[in-house]
Structure 1
């Protein structure tokens, strides 16, 4: 384990504790000697980590410390690269571009050796089947972020067109389709709407009646979902 990975591990262990924990306990959990632990704590404190305590009294990490990007482990870098590559192939154009921009920002502040790991990542994402949407999916994401009602023109499985006013709160990305999850005012219940069947979507100025986090929690409860999987909801 490299020194940067060791420091990251120590921070993650400290985050689990709400009360001061002894240096000996931390040394056991991180697999280092007590002397090395004290040096590592001093290094983290020098980098801005709000670790309070001293030998004999224990240590605690105060809230608010932001982990610097240079502290990413090699596996975390691989996860970031793989995730950004997946988004670039599976998401809408705007989100795909944002994934590339985010990865570039991370690369700009990484030390040279970790930046090389990022550039040389061999985790690849295969080609994705085309998803043809009639609308700009970024509009749906905007409605979710701002908790605004959406007025939809939707094509059902029989080819008929219906008008729906919905409260959008989640967007699912699958191999061949994207799905908007929303509370439907017409059906008075949670429904899934395939984005390739949405003919038109207009964002209302009206906020919907509950927070999206509440809607997401209620939807999971109705489906007996322990995130992120569960039963399907009713059809649109």
Structure 2
């Protein structure tokens, strides 16, 4: 977890408490050492957070402290909230859905009152899914592998009904309404391949970084897809 994320998490923990919380208990909830807690509280106080208390007494965040709205316009905030609502309601990844809900809670808790009300009453909503959400229990592991640039072992059911096991380099995930699609470099085929969520039988992170950086893979893949689209257009003409 980055330091900025850790400070935000600490603020959320303090905001949820109405009475002083002992330092050791607060540090345990935040998953940090007591020494780090004291240092983070000092940093937040320097940034204007009204945190009262001392070691041995406990800490409490007094009302009135809000984070700056990061200079977002109402349209930008509405876009953020609408996107988070879509992920929370439409995603097959429960971890990502909980994170999206956390984003909405944090936005609501940190905006000034007038701006918060404007966002919450904007009238922009995401309707519930009309059908079952695509099954993809491997999505959390896949997202972690994409983030860390790790190769994964993939057990996959191909179009012919044959099960194959291959090692791939995942670099992108597409979230369509009725499907989830992974883009990866396949060591077996020595080419880019797309894998459908409903055909993935198992996915295991190897913990090993693949030899090419993700942004370079995405660049090569974009060129590859452009050539493929051009070829299809030429075939139809």
Please, what is the CA RMSD of the aligned residues?
A: 2.0
Q: Contact between 2:90 and 2:128, CA under 8 Å: does it hold in 1?
A: no
Match of 1:149 among 148, 151, 172: 151
Residue 137 (structure 1) aligns with: 139
**Alpha-carbon shift at residue 158 of structure 1 (Å):** 2.4
Q: How does 1:164-203 map to 2 (within 5 A)?
A: 164-203=166-205
**Alpha-carbon shift at residue 90 of structure 1 (Å):** 2.3
Q: Are 1:120 and 2:121 counterparts? A: yes
Aligned residues: 162
Q: How does 1:1-16 map to 2 (within 5 A)?
A: none
**Alpha-carbon shift at residue 93 of structure 1 (Å):** 0.8
- Cα deviations by residue, 1:151-191 (Å, 9 ceiling, x for unpaired): 01101122211111100000000010000100000110000
**Larger deviation, residues 216-225 vs 124-133:** 124-133
Unmatched runs of 5 consecutive residues or more in structure 2: 1-66, 231-237
Match of 2:165 among 150, 163, 166: 163
Match of 2:209 among 199, 207, 213: 207
- Matched residue SS, 2:80: helix
Displaced runs of 4 or more, over 6 A:
none
TM-score normalised to structure 1 length: 0.64
Residue 62 (structure 1) aligns with: none
In structure 2, the CA distance between the partners of 1:70 and 1:144, relative to structure 1 (3 Å rule), is: closer
Unmatched runs of 5 consecutive residues or more in structure 1: 1-66
TM-score normalised to structure 2 length: 0.64
Alpha-carbon distance in 2 for matches of 1:135, 1:113:
40
